[in-house]
Structure 1
Amino acid sequence: MEENKFVVKIGPPRLTRFEKARIIGARSLQLALGAPPFIPIPVGVTDPITLAIKEIESKALPISIRRMLPNKDYQDIPIHYLLDAF
């Protein structure tokens, strides 16, 4: 049986610094407005930005990145595939 391997067709096979910044900003806003965290809150962490970074590092976020081309073609990529490249 063949294993289905996900291929990133648009852009680099890793999370860019701009994508990472946007994810951290959006998730920290959600956390600041009272959204429940996806991981247990580490001791001493009170900042939503730090907690959002920890969620990304633990690959707990169920978020996909939509990468678009000028001709309107796009690919939705779950971030856990982009984090595996680090």
Structure 2
Amino acid sequence: MGDEFGQGVDSDDGDNYENDIDIITENQIKKEKSDYEHSDANDDNIRITSPYLTKYEKARIIGTRALQISLNAPLTIPIETQGGGDVSNGKNEYDNYLNNDPLVIAEKELHNKSIPFILRRYLPNGSYEDWKLDELIID
């Protein structure tokens, strides 16, 4: 008798978005194109999806890039270092932490559009679109 209340409820409704995008590098694209030629929605002239970077894509890009930075990947922007200051004062120590935080660095790289990622958006028909980050509008 109480079964009608439990029907139609999925506990992972928000988790399906992760499968809609991939973050790939330019080297992976070159390898794929050399392996086979594909005729998906990859034409540069024809774009179906929005040119705006969504908050989900932004979070995934920043997280992926921050992980790379924390594993000593080369940076694409210069970092301002606070050198020679008085360390007894907590402000300089906090500023140094913020300048070296991988999440902050990844956000700065994203806003400079210097992250070497390509965003692959999958479409409902099984094809996909590849967008370089410098082509997307970032809020």
TM-score range, shorter chain: 0.7 to 0.9
Q: What is the CA-CA distance between 1:8 and the residue it aligns to?
A: 6.6
1:60 to 86, 109, 114: 114
Q: Which has the larger radius of gyration?
A: 2
RMSD: 1.7
Structure 2 residue 62 is the aligned partner of structure 1 residue 24: yes
**1:31, 1:48 within 8 Å by CA — same for their partners in 2?**
yes
Structure with greater helix percent: 2
2:115 and 2:65 map into 1 onto residues whose CA distance is 9
- How far does residue 25 in structure 1 lie from its aligned partner after superposition? 0.2
Structure 1 spans left out of the alignment, 5+ residues: 1-5
Which TM-score applies when normalising by structure 1? Answer: 0.82
TM-score where L is the length of structure 2? 0.52
Alignment of 1:1-86 (within 5 A): 9-43=47-81, 44=96, 45-83=99-137, 86=139
**Could you report, residue by residue, the CA deviation over 1:13-62 in whole angstroms, capped at 9, with x for unpaired residues?**
11110111000000000000111111111333010000000001111112
Q: Structure 1 stretches (4+) deviating beyond 4 angstroms? A: none
**Distance change >3 Å, CA 31–CA 64, structure 1 → 2:** same
Shift of 1:63: 1.1
Unaligned runs of 5+ in 2: 1-43, 82-95
Q: Is the 8 A contact 2:123 2:129 kept in 1?
A: no
Q: What is the CA–CA distance in structure 2 between the aligned matches of 1:62 and 1:24, rounded to whole Å?
A: 12
The CA deviation at 1:11 is 2.4
Instruction: Give the Cα separation in 1 of the matches to 2:56 and 2:45.
Output: 21
In the alignment of these two chains, the number of paired residues is 80
1:3 aligned residue: none
CA distance in 1, matches of 2:122, 2:53: 14
